[in-house]
Structure 1
Amino acid sequence: MFAFLSSARKALTRCVFVGATLSLAACQPISIGGGTNVGGGTGPTIDPSEPVRVALLIPKSSAGAGTVATSLENAARLAMADLTNVKIDLRVYDTAGSTDKAASLAQKAVADGAQIILGPLFADAANAAGVAVSEQNINILSFSNNTSIAGGNVFVLGPTFENTAERLMSFAARQGKTKVLVAHPNNVEGQFGRNAVQQAASRNGLAVASVNGFEFSQPGIVAAIPEIKSAMDSTGADTLVLTSNSAGALPLLAQMLPEAGVNPSKIQYVGLGRWDVPAQTTELPGLQNGWFAMPDQAMIQNFQARYTQAYGSAPHQLAGLSYDGIAAIGALVEAGNKKALSAGALTQGAGFQGVAGAFRLRPNGTNERSLAVAMVRDKQVVIIDPAPTKFAGAGF
């Protein structure tokens, strides 16, 4: 535990994240503007009996993203092999991690006959690709989770703060919670998390009693501890939402807040990040009896085992997004609809079955994914509200 907290302190001093930097760079929210139109492209008319031409835009030659690009391509091909009555003509385009190249390759893919685009990986590249083909009647299923680029013809497949916050705040409301305090670092990721919690709380009838931002550094967190404690006392908040993950401010917050008197046996701690990664996170005092959301691990493990058997190594953590994209396309085309790749079809309410369970695309370009609510109990992760296996209604 000491080594874990020491690493966290060093990371905060440098103001960078420890570990998983590729996934954070690839899919954590960054403010770049993006599509604001709702509804997506109408999509091309296809012949469901013919192979569907899918363009896969990935940074194969990028020095920092070559591994994830390989996993994304492999996962797409694994999904293609699982389709029985649908043929996919997959054409791979190497963006090299370049925004400009992503835009030009999106145009080339459409000129080559692409009927839908899967990727790119990075948010700015996905935004540029969407703009480049916005007049071509082609939809884009990006691997990003940056909701600021969602809309128009761009959909994001990556798990979003909005989806996680909605799951947790709706669960909190059902458990009788009424007042929420949000603690977040004053960086882009923290601001996205803060906004997601505020909006989800409002939708579910919870009052946001206080919002406490702090400098993303060790001194900044230390200074924030008494301020958060004071706000909890003065507002009577019964729920404390921490937007940070275990590679950021979470370890220090979860250690120091209980020491300052924010008792996790009396205050419900809730986290937007995964508290089971790395495993020693579950030992932190402030996370005992706390809630966080996670996808169905049995389904993910099944995918990882199948991928490893097929390719000889474990997939990158983002690989499932590519599988999901192909699975959704295949399910729609198999139904025999000539408008299977239109926004209306892509956003149909029943959604799709993916690597981590049910998911669906929303008309505003974001997504909703089935998540379980987990609790840290005696330093172990316990599922207290299983992930739904299907969707009902129109979603949030």
Structure 2
Amino acid sequence: MFARLRATCKSFKAATKAIVAFAALSALAACNTTGMPMSNNGPRIDTSKPVPVALLVPYESESSSDIELARSLENAARLAMADLDGVTIDLRVYPTGGQAERASAAASQAVAAGAKIILGPVYGGSAKLAGIPAANAGINVVSFSNNPDVAGGNVFILGNTFRNTADRLTRYAVSQGKSNILVVNGESAAESAGAAAIVAAASRNGARVAGQTSFELSQMGVTQGIPQITSAVRSTGADAIFFTSGNDGAMPLLAQLLPENGVSSPNPQFIGLQRLNVPASALTLPGLQGSWFATPDVALTQTFVSRYSSTYGGPPHSLAGLAYDGIAAIGALVKSGDKNALTTQGLTRQSGFAGVNGVFRFRTDGTNERGLSVATIQNNQVIEIDPAPRAFSGIGF
């Protein structure tokens, strides 16, 4: 069974290399540096003229998936530009090749050309290096990364973080009476970071960590870890299991072997830190039926996908909405008419921004807070069970 599931996921990985490099459990792929506190950084702008915005994307990469991602990000950015009311963006695209050194050079070029803000690059290490020449010029960088370790100073991240997902799902679990949580993670730096985020979320949101168990990331490691997980469930009385693994890794085998050993959702409730509906083939896995996971605002995302597809003749990359969100935020700030709109103070406004992935705002440490939906899998379909909040005063924040 594991071999069949691994074969399915292997093709998925090949098709989504860029997603995996960016997604939740690859947050530590970037430089391991701590984000610096924010300063009120940013240039003065002339809101009566087109605002120069640099877009750093991985064109000219050796990876075809990077090229696909770059094209989708640029398309989404231009779609957002067309939606701006009374604001004109002068978008200038710089290829990074998916490399940190080239991203730094591209940032230097963008600054020299007069960019007032940099949107991108994708990968965390690239964002960190791009932030250096930008900081020297007093320019902010709004990266597509989700790695909190590269956020801070003049670098902001748009990607959804472990903290956002863990907080949203933990709050929902507590509201549904599932507050005694067993944390299960693979033995890798990324999954350990995910587990730490879940533990912290439990503390913030009134849940109890019943225990934490881990396993080696291999077929044998998962198999050998099943008795330990099942024993922990029974000895602690856990009413929920929060997994850090995704369907490109250990989750399919966990979802097969745990039910075979008498542990299946909803008693205890399976919760995924990663999106358990990816790839689409995972929806048919019996062990994932009834599991919970977080997604961007379902209705808004569907609308964006439909509009993008009708405009460009095909669906967007799953990360394309981040580029739209970035342009939407920049446009909203520029429309205010404030010459200091693109400073740190402007970017971190408490009311946040409305994007195609839902509402979001930047924290003062350079990370972000996003409105997420909670979804489940029923009869091989994704069902939204708790809609994303549409404002930061709403339920879920």
Match of residue 187 from structure 1: 188
Partners of 2:347 and 2:396 lie apart in 1 by 15
In the superposition, the TM-score normalised over structure 1's length comes to 0.92
Q: Which moved more, 1:219-228 or 1:263-272?
A: 263-272
1:89-100 aligned at under 5 Å gives the runs 89-100=90-101
Cα deviation per residue 1:16-59 (whole Å; 9 max; x = unaligned)?
95652221124531252235222255211112222111111112
Cα deviation per residue 1:278-298 (whole Å; 9 max; x = unaligned)?
334233333333211112233
Shift of 1:11: 8.0
**Any conservation in 2 of the 1:11–1:18 contact (CA below 8 Å)?**
no
Cα deviation per residue 1:342-366 (whole Å; 9 max; x = unaligned)?
1111111211111122111111111
Match of residue 20 from structure 1: 16
CA RMSD of superposed structures (Å): 2.2
Q: Which moved more, 1:334-343 or 1:262-271?
A: 262-271
The 1:248–1:125 alpha-carbon spacing in structure 2 relative to 1, beyond 3 Å, is same
Match of residue 31 from structure 2: 32
Aligned residues: 391
**Any conservation in 2 of the 1:41–1:152 contact (CA below 8 Å)?**
no
SS of the residue aligned with 2:315?
coil
Partners of 2:320 and 2:39 lie apart in 1 by 24
Match of residue 125 from structure 2: 124
In the superposition, the TM-score normalised over structure 2's length comes to 0.92
1:233-244 aligned at under 5 Å gives the runs 233-244=234-245
Shift of 1:387: 0.9
Partners of 2:102 and 2:71 lie apart in 1 by 18
Q: Could you list the runs of 4 or more consecutive aligned residues of structure 1 that deviate by over 6 angstroms after TM superposition?
A: 393-396
Q: Which moved more, 1:154-163 or 1:290-299?
A: 290-299
Q: Which amino acid in the other structure matches residue 97 of structure 1?
A: G
Partners of 1:277 and 1:26 lie apart in 2 by 14
Shift of 1:69: 0.7
Shift of 1:170: 0.9
Partners of 1:206 and 1:115 lie apart in 2 by 43
Partners of 1:283 and 1:66 lie apart in 2 by 31
Partners of 1:31 and 1:234 lie apart in 2 by 38
**Any conservation in 1 of the 2:34–2:149 contact (CA below 8 Å)?**
yes
**Any conservation in 1 of the 2:389–2:396 contact (CA below 8 Å)?**
no
1:153-192 aligned at under 5 Å gives the runs 153-192=154-193
Shift of 1:314: 2.3
**Any conservation in 1 of the 2:195–2:244 contact (CA below 8 Å)?**
yes
Q: Which amino acid in the other structure matches residue 8 of structure 1?
A: L
Partners of 1:348 and 1:114 lie apart in 2 by 22
Shift of 1:115: 0.7
Cα deviation per residue 1:310-329 (whole Å; 9 max; x = unaligned)?
22332221111111100000
Partners of 1:363 and 1:394 lie apart in 2 by 22
Match of residue 284 from structure 1: 285
**Any conservation in 1 of the 2:264–2:270 contact (CA below 8 Å)?**
no
Q: Which moved more, 1:241-250 or 1:287-296?
A: 287-296
Shift of 1:117: 0.3
Match of residue 43 from structure 1: 42
Q: Which moved more, 1:40-49 or 1:366-375?
A: 40-49
Match of residue 363 from structure 2: 362
Partners of 1:24 and 1:119 lie apart in 2 by 17
Partners of 1:395 and 1:51 lie apart in 2 by 37
> Given the alignment of the two structures, is residue 8 of structure 1 paired with residue 18 of structure 2, yes or no?
no
Could you tell me which runs of 5 or more consecutive residues in structure 1 were left unpaired when the two chains were aligned.
none
The 1:137–1:7 alpha-carbon spacing in structure 2 relative to 1, beyond 3 Å, is farther
Shift of 1:118: 0.4
SS of the residue aligned with 1:228?
helix
Match of residue 387 from structure 1: 388
Shift of 1:132: 2.9
The 1:88–1:304 alpha-carbon spacing in structure 2 relative to 1, beyond 3 Å, is same
Q: Which amino acid in the other structure matches residue 130 of structure 2?
A: A
Partners of 2:320 and 2:266 lie apart in 1 by 38
Partners of 2:99 and 2:283 lie apart in 1 by 38
Shift of 1:147: 1.3
Match of residue 200 from structure 1: 201
SS of the residue aligned with 1:360?
strand
**Any conservation in 2 of the 1:320–1:355 contact (CA below 8 Å)?**
yes
Partners of 1:31 and 1:113 lie apart in 2 by 27
Partners of 1:361 and 1:40 lie apart in 2 by 14
**Any conservation in 2 of the 1:104–1:129 contact (CA below 8 Å)?**
yes
**Any conservation in 2 of the 1:36–1:151 contact (CA below 8 Å)?**
yes
Partners of 1:261 and 1:40 lie apart in 2 by 53
Shift of 1:109: 1.2
Match of residue 61 from structure 2: 62
Match of residue 151 from structure 2: 150
**Any conservation in 1 of the 2:134–2:141 contact (CA below 8 Å)?**
no
Shift of 1:331: 0.5
1:288-367 aligned at under 5 Å gives the runs 288-367=289-368
Partners of 1:315 and 1:205 lie apart in 2 by 38
SS of the residue aligned with 2:56?
strand
**Any conservation in 2 of the 1:11–1:17 contact (CA below 8 Å)?**
no
Q: Which amino acid in the other structure matches residue 346 of structure 1?
A: L
Partners of 1:6 and 1:276 lie apart in 2 by 20
Partners of 2:318 and 2:383 lie apart in 1 by 22
